[in-house]
Structure 1
Amino acid sequence: MLDPLITSKTRIRLLVKFFSNPHTKAYLREIAEEFGESTNSVRVELNRLSEAKLLRSQPDGRTIKYSANEQHPLFPDIRKIISKFLGLDQIAQNIVSKLGEVDRALVIGDYAKGIDSGTIELVIVGESVDMNLLAELTAKAEKLIKRKIQPQVMARAAYEAAREGNAEMFRHPILVYSVEQ
């Protein structure tokens, strides 16, 4: 979807990494290793995005740590585009809103870290969720967004306990639905 608009695959992957979850911070070598690309090709794109002020670069010893520039005027728009690219808007619209008493839905795991692994880990927090309908809607959404969705339903109390007990699992999740929205 973004390929005709942004010709560099590395640039697309960097935008997904940093704009799908603005809490993401990463170093050049870490990104190159994650993407399976040379440090030079990643460096070129990091420099372009930094020069455009879309990314912040902060010296950290002998390395530079990169993160999304949340103060950039285009930040909200790019974030929405990335969300649509990943299909997160479709998940909220086609799955969560039809399930029953859902308090919130969060994306955790690789996608929350900005890694397009092909599998979206979705945590649905609520009571009385129709599991048969969830399976049906998940299958439809997977075809629509061309990604595997791995849903996990949790009661409110179980979610709060898990969030407190497993900080890594719920570190910087992406909120795709909330009754407060």
Structure 2
Amino acid sequence: MLSSIVTSKTRIKLLLKFFSHNNTGYLRALAKEFDESTNSVRVELNRLTDAGLLETVDEGRLKVYKANEGHPFFSEIRNMVSKFFGLEELMEKIVRRMGAVDKAYIIGEYAMGNDTGEIEILLIGKNLDLQYLEFLKNKTYEKLQRKVIVHIQEDELEEVKGIMIFGS
């Protein structure tokens, strides 16, 4: 989806990194993470900064980049990135088809902005369709190449450290 709109693979990687969470990064670390040359990453960082999509903060000798939350298209780009990852669709399917889901949270490292390859989900509800849940977990792995770990609680916890909340 994004590759048909944005033709630069490096730019796509940067958009996914900065707009999927409140991530920050600097040139050399980004180049190493993406296995790209510093020049190609620098060119795309400059383009995104010039467009106002990224902003920079000087931390000592480093120039640290992050998404510009004040940009008029911030929410739209973040929604596109979320749809690209398929998380919104996954959570909607869980809430709609799992049974009596009261709330669904994305928790853990992914909710804190660290993409470790695992997505942890907390479901609050009773009599959930566990067979369908296994099906969704497998499909999500096939599509996103991320393992889904699901925790189920019958009653709401006092404190949940999740960023994205779905459900009623």
TM-score, normalisation: structure 2: 0.82
Query: 1:85, 1:136 → 2: CA distance?
Result: 20
Structure 2 partner of 1:166 = none
- Asked whether the equivalents of residues 20 and 114 of structure 1 are also in contact (C-alpha less than 8 Å), the reply is no
- Asked whether the equivalents of residues 56 and 65 of structure 2 are also in contact (C-alpha less than 8 Å), the reply is yes
Deviation at 1:149, TM superposition (A): 3.8
Any gaps of 5 or more consecutive residues in structure 1?
164-169
Aligned AA (2:54): L
Deviation at 1:146, TM superposition (A): 4.7
Structure 2 partner of 1:81 = 80
TM-score, normalisation: structure 1: 0.77
Structure 2 partner of 1:26 = 25
Q: Superposition pairs for residues 30-179 of structure 1, below 5 Å?
A: 30-99=29-98, 100-106=100-106, 108-109=108-109, 113=113, 115=115, 119-128=117-126, 129-142=128-141, 145-155=143-153, 156-157=156-157, 160=159, 174-175=163-164, 177-179=166-168
- Asked whether the equivalents of residues 57 and 64 of structure 2 are also in contact (C-alpha less than 8 Å), the reply is yes
Deviation at 1:89, TM superposition (A): 1.7
Query: 2:37, 2:112 → 1: CA distance?
Result: 24
Deviation at 1:178, TM superposition (A): 4.3
Identity of aligned residues (%): 37
Any gaps of 5 or more consecutive residues in structure 2?
none
Q: Encode CA deviations 1:17-52: one digit per residue, 9 max, x unaligned.
A: 01111x211111111111111111111111100000
SS in 2 for 1:121: strand
Aligned AA (1:101): V
Q: Report the number of matched residues.
A: 164
Point out the more displaced range, 54-63 or 103-112. 103-112
User: Using a 3 Å threshold, how does the CA distance of structure 1 residues 137 and 46 change in structure 2: closer, same or farther?
Assistant: same
Deviation at 1:154, TM superposition (A): 4.1
Query: 2:144, 2:74 → 1: CA distance?
Result: 25
Structure possessing the higher relative contact order (Cα contacts under 8 Å, 6 or more residues apart): 1
Deviation at 1:152, TM superposition (A): 2.0
User: Using a 3 Å threshold, how does the CA distance of structure 1 residues 40 and 48 change in structure 2: closer, same or farther?
Assistant: same
- Asked whether the equivalents of residues 88 and 176 of structure 1 are also in contact (C-alpha less than 8 Å), the reply is no
- Asked whether the equivalents of residues 54 and 75 of structure 1 are also in contact (C-alpha less than 8 Å), the reply is yes
